[in-house]
Amino acid sequence: MDESAFRRARDAIARRPCVFEKAILARCCACTLAERQNIAEREALACGAPEAHEQCAALRALLRQKSAFALKLTHVDAPLPHAQEMRVECGGLHGLQQAAAPAAVEALAAAAQQLPLVADVRSLVQASAETFGGLANLPYSVIVQSIVAYRIRRRRPQA
């Protein structure tokens, strides 16, 4: 299936594509509202709730805006290369989790020796917005540090 046919089929099936689809498919987080859909040999995610989709889209826009200087981005609205988008999504969610519950993250990281998985994006975003009084008031200094520090996993050498 060529890329344009895939995009047309995806747009027809997934009316609200998941904002953090790349991060979920890379298994650095999960979401209870993500609805998996198979299109040919590929997988797409749709969001099950319109209000959650809007809140996640607002968060991703803020993550891009606040990390633009650190990631050396000139336009935050333009599509990002895959590695940069993964840093914004995965690093941003890990940073948000760390800012929202630092003690829990430290305990999980010490046990696992790696960054912990964000168990539910929706509940993390909603709880963080309530705790800090809105998405605009999140501690972006902590979150941006996590975005900058995040590295995507390397491909394994072909055998």
Residue for token digits 């948000």?
A: 96
Residue 157 lies in a domain: no
**Inside any domain, residue 91:** yes
Q: Between 33 and 11, whose confidence is greater?
A: 33
CB burial of 92-106 (b: ≥16 within 10 Å; e: otherwise) equals bbbbbbbbbbeeebe
User: Is residue 155 in a domain?
Assistant: no
pLDDT in tens, 3-15: 787 777 777 776 7
Provide the domain limits for residue 55: 3-149
**Which residue has tokens 């891009």?**
64
List phi, psi (to 5°) of 117: -75, 135
DSSP string over 39-74:
ETTEEEEEES-HHHHHHHHHHHHHHHHHHTTTTT-S
For residue 69, pLDDT beyond 70: yes
Q: Please report whether residue 105 resides in a domain.
A: yes
State the Cα–Cα distance between residues 135 and 120, nearest whole angstrom: 17
Does pLDDT of 43 surpass 90? no
Total count of residues recorded for the chain: 159
Residue 159 lies in a domain: no
pLDDT score of 108 more than 60: no
For residues 90 and 116, the answer to whether their CB atoms sit within 8 Å is no
Residue 156 located in a structural domain: no
**pLDDT digit string, tens, across residues 134-154:** 999 999 999 999 999 988 777
pLDDT value, residue 75: 79
Residue 132 within a domain: yes
Report the domain count for the chain.
1
For residues 60 and 151, the answer to whether their CB atoms sit within 8 Å is no
Question: Which residues sit opposite 46 in a β-bridge?
Answer: 17, 35
Q: How far is CA 9 from the centre of its chain?
A: 23
% the chain with pLDDT above 90 = 50
Cβ atoms < 10 Å from Cβ of 120: 16
